[in-house]
């Protein structure tokens, strides 16, 4: 199995790539590095497709997805995002549908489980309320890649196989708590095996040429189902993530889709 490549350059950290604590204990610092995108691009008209190498700056990232309890605190302080008050422009009828009531999560949504059934707009508003933001797709893929989970090729291929097995299982009606044991070298938890996660540019990376040329500034960000052209169709774990993102629109609310937040680090 051919894997996406991640190269770390100029990192003043140990060989084990230990995580550096951010100011917020719920976050960890991600060192800068380079991520070879799964999705190829044409550098010039008529040129062959090439996988762009993206530079990811140092940033802070939530160790776990946002929980029902955390999102409940948010909607209590921001009534406009409560289930019975949220605008239909930014949500759909399934918004927070798994909660028992508008301000009560109930047994189907334990406070320590990841919040799901939230739109991209609601996730973005939550992060902004904490002076944070959603991760970009490149940041998420960089941190969630196999290079952070294993030292050898065999380790990484086993890691990808476990992801595929999770993709094949139906989502449980009640999600388990966040913070499951992890082998991630930065201490990130629940990147795989629990939920899918929103990214700030969830579909722009895989838009077709026609979509990229659209003059609307929101076209590439919110119009799903764009043409998918991954550089390595044998890397099914990445392929499925990018295919899933391509099907999304900003107002969607899905029972296995949540999010976590990031924060820029001052130079």
DSSP character string of 173-225: SSPPPS------TT----SSSS-EE--TTTTGGG--HHHHT-S-TTHHHH--S
CB 116 within 8 Å of CB 175: yes
Residue listed under structure tokens 């838009």: 207
Q: What is the pLDDT of residues 18-63, one digit of tens each?
A: 445 566 789 999 999 988 776 665 566 766 666 678 899 999 999 9
CB 251 within 8 Å of CB 91: yes
Residue listed under structure tokens 């030292």: 151
What integer pLDDT is reported at residue 112 of this predicted model?
98
Note the Cα 219 to chain centre separation in Å: 20
What integer pLDDT is reported at residue 151 of this predicted model?
76
Residue listed under structure tokens 């969830």: 202
Q: What is the pLDDT of residues 74-89, one digit of tens each?
A: 999 999 999 999 999 9
Measured torsion, CA atoms of residues 17, 57, 237, 219, in degrees rounded to the nearest 10? 170
What integer pLDDT is reported at residue 48 of this predicted model?
65
Query: Cα separations (Å) of 62 from 6, 48, 261?
Result: 21, 37, 6
CB atoms within 10 A of CB 144: 19
What integer pLDDT is reported at residue 243 of this predicted model?
85
Low-confidence ranges of the chain (pLDDT < 50): 1-19, 206-234
Alpha carbons 25 and 159: distance in angstroms, whole number: 27
Query: Cα separations (Å) of 29 from 18, 92, 149, 196, 258?
Result: 10, 34, 16, 21, 21
What integer pLDDT is reported at residue 249 of this predicted model?
94
CB hemisphere CA count around 139 (13 angstroms): 26
CB 245 within 8 Å of CB 254: no
What is the CA angle 156-158-162, rounded to 5? 115
What integer pLDDT is reported at residue 176 of this predicted model?
96
CB 74 within 8 Å of CB 51: no
């Amino acid at each position: 199995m051919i894997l996406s490549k991640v190269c770390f350059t100029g990192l003043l950290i140990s060989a084990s790539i230990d995580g550096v604590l951010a100011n917020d204990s719920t976050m960890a610092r991600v060192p800068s590095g380079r991520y070879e995108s799964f999705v190829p691009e044409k550098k010039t008209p008529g040129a062959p497709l090439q996988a762009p190498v993206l530079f990811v700056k140092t940033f802070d990232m939530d160790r776990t997805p946002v929980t029902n309890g955390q999102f409940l605190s948010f909607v209590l302080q921001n009534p406009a995002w409560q289930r019975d008050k949220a605008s239909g422009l930014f949500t759909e009828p399934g918004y927070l549908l798994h909660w028992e009531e508008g301000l009560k999560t109930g047994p189907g949504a334990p406070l320590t489980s990841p919040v799901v059934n939230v739109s991209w707009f609601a996730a973005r508003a939550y992060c902004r309320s904490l002076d944070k933001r959603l991760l970009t797709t490149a940041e998420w893929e960089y941190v969630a890649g196999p290079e952070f989970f294993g030292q050898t090729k065999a380790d990484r291929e086993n890691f990808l196989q476990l992801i595929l097995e999770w993709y094949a299982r139906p989502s449980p009606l009640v999600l388990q708590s966040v913070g499951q044991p992890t082998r991630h070298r930065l201490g990130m938890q629940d990147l795989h095996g629990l939920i899918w996660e929103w990214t700030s540019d969830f579909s722009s990376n895989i838009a077709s040429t026609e979509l990229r040329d659209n003059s609307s500034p929101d076209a590439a960000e919110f119009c799903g189902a764009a043409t998918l052209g991954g550089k390595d169709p044998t890397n099914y774990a990445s392929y499925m993530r990018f295919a899933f993102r391509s099907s999304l629109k900003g107002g969607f609310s899905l029972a296995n889709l949540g999010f976590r937040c990031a924060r820029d680090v001052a130079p």
